[in-house]
Amino acid sequence: MGSAEEEDLPATDMPRVVGVLSALLERVTERNDAATGPGALEPASGSAFRAMTKPGISVRAYMARIARFAGCSPACFVVGYIYLDRLLRRRRALAVDSYSVHRLLITTVLSAVKFMDDICYNN
């Protein structure tokens, strides 16, 4: 019942921390979707992170793709999750749901990559 993206990326290729964090984010997303109700899931929020439609890729497959193609360390996913947690604590109106989770995830993980893995040159 998995999509083509999920079948392309076997679980053995994904770092364990990515699998754990993706499961956690999927639960949070499902809980927030259920809490707002089906009528409230329309993308009416003016947030830059909120998509007009739900992406066709699961959180797990999306994180696996980031891990595979971004070439970042697994620590970046942990730091990205910390960034996400801090952002949500400061902006209470921002919610992690099916419309925003992918954009929030790529933003926080790539911010973590810039901090953790980028090579800085002394010019």
Residues 6+ apart with CB under 8 A from 49: 94, 100, 103, 104, 107
Q: Write down the domain spans for the chain.
A: 4-116
Q: 46: helix, coil or strand? A: coil
* Tens digits of residue pLDDT in 47-68: 788 888 889 999 999 999 999 9
Q: What is the pLDDT of residues 10-29, one digit of tens each?
A: 555 788 999 999 999 999 99
Q: What is the pTM of this model?
A: 0.78
Are 67 and 15 a contacting pair, CB within 8 Å?
A: yes
CATH of the domain spanning 4-116: 1.10.472.10
